[in-house]
Amino acid sequence: MTLAAYAEQNRASDIADAAYAEIIKATPRNRTAYTGRVRLAEASGRTADAQKLTAEIVKLWPADAAARNEDAYLQLLLGASDGAAEAAERQAQVLVAQEPWNWSARATLGLARLRLSKKPEALKAFRDIRATGSEPPGALAVRAAILAVNGYEEGARGDARNLGAEHLLPEERALITPLLADQK
């Protein structure tokens, strides 16, 4: 674990990932190692790898709402089927009801509705919540895309502009790329 943490801190991602993988082989229920591998996959833009890891986490810890939400969100980014999008929507609705200030849950809810072509309902996922600057960048990218498809171009471009330098997964970046390209 020390090697993995040290390698991760020093941007030696391959070594950190290999160390976390060895920890998982030795102790298959080591949550810290799984979380480290997800973090590394997301940091390097490997969304599919991150999603496979979150799916493993959900299998091991099915009661973990945050893990289920992260898995659903990543599936949606990767183009989940309508059935998976509907399941993600239902699950995210419950989580938003329990945790109204949870931006990650709102992003999953909004993205699920966007994937299901429920544009006005997607917008409602971000109603009654204000950005404070501490939101996950991916959630703001989702909100920007939802604002844009609902005709709120100025707000969408503002969110996209604010995210310009933030680390986003490739699929999150794709959501805001049209908003950045349209700027003069």
Mean predicted lDDT score pLDDT of the chain: 94
Residues 23 and 15: their CA atoms lie apart, in Å, by 12
For the entire predicted model, the pTM comes to 0.92
In this structure, are 69 and 96 located in the same domain? no
The per-residue pLDDT for range 97-110, each reduced to its tens digit, is 999 999 999 999 99
> What is the pLDDT at residue 132?
82
> What is the pLDDT at residue 76?
98
Question: Is residue 172 included in any domain, yes or no?
Answer: yes
> What is the pLDDT at residue 89?
98
In this structure, are 118 and 176 located in the same domain? yes
Q: Is residue 182 pLDDT above 80, yes or no?
A: no
- Out of 74, 108, 125, a domain closes at 74
CA triple 54-66-108, angle to 5 deg:
85
Question: Is residue 80 included in any domain, yes or no?
Answer: no
Question: Is residue 108 included in any domain, yes or no?
Answer: yes
Q: Which CATH number is 157's domain given?
A: 1.25.40
In this structure, are 64 and 100 located in the same domain? no
Non-local (6+) Cβ contacts of 37 within 8 A are 17, 20, 21, 24, 53
The per-residue pLDDT for range 141-163, each reduced to its tens digit, is 999 999 999 999 999 998 898 88
In this structure, are 167 and 107 located in the same domain? yes
DSSP state of 79: T
- The total of other beta-carbon atoms located within 10 Å of residue 173's CB is 18
Which domain, by its residues, includes 158?
Answer: 89-181
> What is the pLDDT at residue 165?
63
* Residue of 158, 96, 150, 100 whose CA lies nearest to 123: 150
The per-residue pLDDT for range 51-97, each reduced to its tens digit, is 999 999 999 999 999 999 999 999 999 999 999 999 999 999 999 99
Contact in structure between 107 and 70 (CB atoms under 8 Å):
no
